Structure formats: C-alpha cells, structure tokens
Homo-oligomer: A and B are copies of this chain.
Amino acid sequence: AVNGQRLWDSLMEMAKIGATPKGGVCRLALTDLDREGRDLFVRWAKEAGCTISVDQMGNVFARRAGQDDTLPPVITGSHADSQPTGGRFDGIYGVLGGLEVIRSLNDHGIATRRAIEVVIWTNEEGSRFAPAMVSSGVFAGVFSLEYGLSRTDVDGRTLGQELERIGYAGDVPCGGRPIHAAYELHIEQGPILETEGRTIGVVTHAQGQRWYEVVFTGQESHAGPTPMPRRRDALLGAARVVDLVNRIGHRHAPYACATVGMLQVHPNSRNVIPGRVFFTVDLRHPDDAVLARMDQELREGIATIAADAKLETTRFEQIFYYAPVTFDTSCVAAVRAATERFGYSHRDMVSGAGHDACYLAQVAPTSMIFVPCVGGISHNEIEDATPEWITAGANVLLHAMLERAQS
C-alpha cells in the first residue's frame, strides 16, 4: 500500500502554488506558477531517484529505471495546469499519485522489470490555450508539433513562446516511442461515485467531444436612438445560441452535455448595441452518432438564429473533436482486480471529461482510475476530496501499474 499521508501532504504543498482565496488553485498553463509547480515536482522526483526528461511540447517525464531498461515503460501521469478558478486535485492528483507509486516502490525496495514513468502533460485544461490535452495529443500523433506549439492565448502569446519563457521547451522528440501501458488517476469531476457511495470508478470509456468557436457580427450602434427593428445585435444572437445549446443538452438526456463557457462582447459598453460577440460551444456524448446529431442541431440552429437576428456568422469552426474512447480491456481488468484486492466499492464508469489518457489510448493500452469528489464539483475553487479516497486511488494505481511493469 502507498503512504497516503505523504501523498496528501504533497498535494497540499503543491496546492500552495497558485492558491486562491476560496481554497482552490489558479495555475494556468505555462505561467510562472505552472513553472513553480513543475520545478517542485522535478525536485521531488529527483529526490525519489528518477531521471528527468522534457520533450518538445514541455511534457515532463520522471523515470524510475526498470530491471530491463530496454523494454517499453509503464507510464502514468496527468496535468499540473489548472482552470482560472480550479481545484487542488484536478490533474495534479494523477501526477503526485504517480510519484507516490514510485516513492512506495522505493520504500518497499521493489524493483520492476519495466521502467515506470510519471508524466506532467502540458496544457491539459485547454483554458489558457485551446484545445484541451494538446500535448498528449501531439505525443499520440493526433496533432502535429507545429500545431501544438502555435496554440495562442487571448493575449496572442503562443504555447511555444511560453514554453521557452518558463524554461520547459525540451528537445526530446514528442511521442514516437513505444509505451507498454498507460494509466491515469483522476478525481471523477462529477457526482456519480459520491452519490452512490463508491470509492473507485473503473473507467471503461470516455465520451466524445466537439468544441467550437463562433463569432457573430452585427452592427454596433447607439442603444438609445436606434429603433428595435433596425438593430443587428450580436449579443442577442449569441444569447439565443446559449439557450439553444442548453436545449440540445437536455434533448439528448441523460448523457449529453452542452455548454457555452466563454463569451466576449465587443465593444462591451453599456449604451452600445454589441457589434461582435465571440463565444465557444462544448458538446459531449458517449455515442458518436448522437454527438454528430448534436453537431447538426447546433449548425442548423445557429444558421436560423443568425438569419433571424440579421447577423453574419463570421466564424464557425469546430476546433476540437474526438470520438468516444473505449479503454483497453486488460488495463481495465487490472484496475478492477486491484480495486477488489483492497475491497474498495466500485463501479464501471464513462468519463465525462477529456483526459490525456483519451489520446494515449490511441498509441498504448490505456485506462483510468477515478475517485469521488465532494458534491461532484470540479473546475471550481471549492473542489474537494477526502484523504481516504485519495489514498484508495493511489493504492489501485500502484497495483495496476505493478501488474503491467512486471509483465
């Protein structure tokens, strides 16, 4: 078993970097705080005897050598970046849980046949640089390196520039090497485990996602003397799409999710009819055919709304898509076996969120382990988990990895 107290303490230590007033974390990808978090992980990993390498996307690999170091490794990890108002567990739990596996193997003097690597994947959240999981995507060959490095934040800075700036632009090629198995440990970020009183989610699938960027252009004019029928109000159109997206989500209940998370109004002045609005749409469903139907409904709805409100859709782009993921059955079985070994209550689950594991699944046998989070709340400063859950997940990870690392 792992040392749950040590893992908890490490999580709390890490959570000081970018701590927010309400007990959360703001550690946006490739900011100075992200660098501090990476530096702390690197120090701890070195203290645990690991060697560190950094690839061209800034993914950080901490490697504990195997007895036969020529064999493809077993890897685990997640991300160290957060949402602007994120929690203390999202992502970093999978990184420090992996580190705890290595520390525990050291404690017990256990050598593994294959090397074990713990990874920080760059910019998983997709919040500072869209889309999400961009660096595990490059690793898996889903995106080109050029695409990854050219992602841009709202201030126009590229991911590549920011990697250089914080000193994490490595020279190891990103991806292209064999991985024996990959696991990712994460909080559920939804309400199911907690509601059912179960400790471990054996993640068998992840839902598919489509992300869009939309710009409506109307005409700025004065909020006073411009008669209602003459208006071309870009915010009115965008508002109707927000409602449409919500209806699409409800229409495909119970599994669909549909969200407008980001919206920017131009010129955003009280007495000016908005002339331009940028907004994003996020559609998800575990069934690719339903997701395609949702996409169709979005496209048709936007066309109708734009025509109605006399707007031009000056941008409509699907910037991110991946089909629903089926995780590797033997990895899933190893997770289930490890769970049962400890007697943890569990259930099979579909991940509602995207994870680096979703891309890794394209190039290696992969699966995920979930633990509950309080109230099912994530992407929120109040995100929380109990030490018992945190320990249980790491125990399952340890045994699932061990099984693979000896094979």
Cβ of A274 within 8 Å of any chain B Cβ, yes or no, is yes
8 Å CB interface, A267-318 against B: 267-275, 280, 282, 284
8 Å CB interface, A248-262 against B: 249-250, 253-254, 256-262
B257 near A226 (CB under 8 angstroms)? yes
Residue of B nearest to A349 (CB): B225
Residue of B nearest to A352 (CB): B225
Asked whether A221 and B378 contact (CB < 8 A) given A191-B227, A228-B258, A235-B260, the answer is: yes
Cβ of A351 within 8 Å of any chain B Cβ, yes or no, is yes
Residue of A221, A230, A233 most packed against chain B (CB within 10 A): A221
Partner of A272 from B207, B230, B235, B379 at Cβ < 8 Å: B379
A84 near B224 (CB under 8 angstroms)? no
Residue of A238, A258, A260 most packed against chain B (CB within 10 A): A260
Cβ of A54 within 8 Å of any chain B Cβ, yes or no, is no
Stretch from A94-102, A110-118, A126-134, A167-175 at the B interface = A126-134
Complex alpha-carbon distance, A256 and B272, angstroms = 15
Complex alpha-carbon distance, A381 and B254, angstroms = 47
Q: Tell me which residues across on chain B come within 8 A of A229, comparing CB atoms.
A: 253
Residue of B nearest to A249 (CB): B228
Q: Tell me which residues across on chain B come within 8 A of A209, comparing CB atoms.
A: 224
Q: Tell me which residues across on chain B come within 8 A of A211, comparing CB atoms.
A: 270
Q: Tell me which residues across on chain B come within 8 A of A267, comparing CB atoms.
A: 83-85
A271 near B379 (CB under 8 angstroms)? yes
A274 near B258 (CB under 8 angstroms)? no
8 contacts between A and B (CB under 8 A): A84-B272, A85-B220, A132-B271, A220-B379, A226-B376, A228-B249, A263-B263, A272-B380
